[in-house]
């Protein structure tokens, strides 16, 4: 009879292993390698109480080559607790922790890169003495990129109250560089070319023109060749006429 409860226990343990493995995989952190424009949400009131919101824009995956991301918000109260004055990773939403969210016992939180620094009650949420001390946690150790959304454990952020498909600072700078480079690549380069006028170049044949003599001192061409030709023709004609006359007698 005792065997049956044991089998049920083993079955429950084995059934829970995939879920535990999934949580472990999701809790690997490393969001900073694929997310940008990381910031904290505004305070809830004038006393500067930390809202607990972490905002960022993330690519769909670490391997994504897209230059655009999805803006999401994650409530860090689901991820961390204040234990003895220290911000410690704790899956608060699963109701498996005896410690309330760190947001209820920490204040004056600031973000420097991936490091969250707060002033927290040194005795934790249940500390009777309201004494605060500064503590810092590296968000990159727990927060991960869950398909373009910030996440911790198996809790995922959402886009509510966050501008959809913003462009991060790094992406905007990269696109500006690409646009400048592209514009430079396609700008036509004008070469300085000198085109000779049609009638100012040297003629193809540089020899002397036919029947043209050298110019005289007055700038006019010599007509001696033409005069000589006319005289010769006249002489030949006269000679032929004289010969014909003699044969007539």
- Domain extent, residue 147, equals 29-164
Measured between alpha carbons, how far is 183 from 78 in angstroms, rounded to an integer?
47
Cβ atoms of 137 and 116 within 8 Å: the answer is yes
Greater confidence (50 vs 160) lies with 160
Measured between alpha carbons, how far is 216 from 238 in angstroms, rounded to an integer?
32
Cβ within 8 Å of residue 85, ≥6 positions away: 120, 121, 122, 123, 124, 127, 133, 135
Measured between alpha carbons, how far is 205 from 221 in angstroms, rounded to an integer?
20
Mean pLDDT of 199-218: 47
- Residue 19 lies inside a defined structural domain of this protein: no
Cβ atoms of 154 and 26 within 8 Å: the answer is yes
Confidence grade of residue 42 (pLDDT, cut at 50, 70, 90): confident
Q: What is the CATH number of the domain that holds 154?
A: 2.30.60.10
Buried b (16+ CB within 10 A) or exposed e, 233-247: eeeeeeeeeeeeeee
The pLDDT tens digits of the residues spanning 209-239 come to 444 444 444 444 444 444 444 344 343 344 4
88 to 8, 30, 78, 79, 241: CA distances (angstroms) = 34, 17, 11, 8, 139
The pLDDT tens digits of the residues spanning 93-121 come to 555 556 778 988 898 999 999 999 999 99
- Our count of domains for the chain comes to 1
Mean pLDDT of 29-44: 86
Average per-residue pLDDT for the chain: 68
Highest mean pLDDT among 4-18, 20-34, 169-183: 20-34
- Residue 180 lies inside a defined structural domain of this protein: no
Q: What's phi and psi for 101, nearest 5 deg? A: -60, 145
Q: Which among 114, 109, 36 has a CA at the least distance from the CA of 71?
A: 36
- Residue 75 lies inside a defined structural domain of this protein: yes
Has residue 199 got a pLDDT over 80? no
Torsion region of 229: left, alpha or beta (phi above 0 gives left; psi -120 to 50 gives alpha): alpha
- Residue 178 lies inside a defined structural domain of this protein: no
- Residue 241 lies inside a defined structural domain of this protein: no
């Amino acid at each position: 009879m005792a065997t049956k409860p044991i089998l049920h226990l083993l079955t429950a343990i084995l059934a829970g292993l995939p879920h535990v493995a999934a949580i472990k995989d999701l809790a690997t952190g490393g969001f900073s390698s694929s997310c940008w424009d990381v910031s904290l949400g505004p305070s809830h009131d004038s006393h500067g109480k930390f809202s607990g919101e972490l905002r960022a824009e993330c690519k769909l995956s670490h391997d994504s080559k897209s230059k655009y991301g999805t803006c999401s918000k994650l409530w860090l109260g689901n991820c961390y607790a204040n234990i003895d004055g220290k911000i410690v990773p704790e899956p608060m939403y699963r109701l498996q922790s005896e410690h309330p969210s760190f947001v209820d016992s920490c204040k004056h939180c600031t973000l420097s890169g991936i490091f969250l620094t707060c002033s927290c009650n040194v005795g934790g949420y249940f500390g009777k003495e309201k004494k605060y001390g500064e503590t810092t946690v590296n968000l990159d150790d727990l927060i991960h990129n869950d398909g373009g959304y910030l996440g911790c454990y198996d809790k995922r952020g959402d886009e509510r109250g966050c501008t959809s498909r913003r462009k991060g600072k790094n992406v905007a700078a990269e696109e500006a560089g690409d646009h400048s480079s592209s514009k430079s690549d396609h700008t036509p380069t004008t070469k300085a070319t000198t085109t000779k006028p049609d009638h100012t170049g040297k003629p193809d044949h540089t020899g002397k023109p036919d029947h043209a003599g050298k110019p005289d001192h007055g700038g006019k061409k010599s007509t001696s060749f033409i005069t000589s030709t006319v005289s010769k023709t006249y002489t030949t004609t006269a000679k032929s006429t004289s010969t014909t006359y003699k044969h007539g007698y």
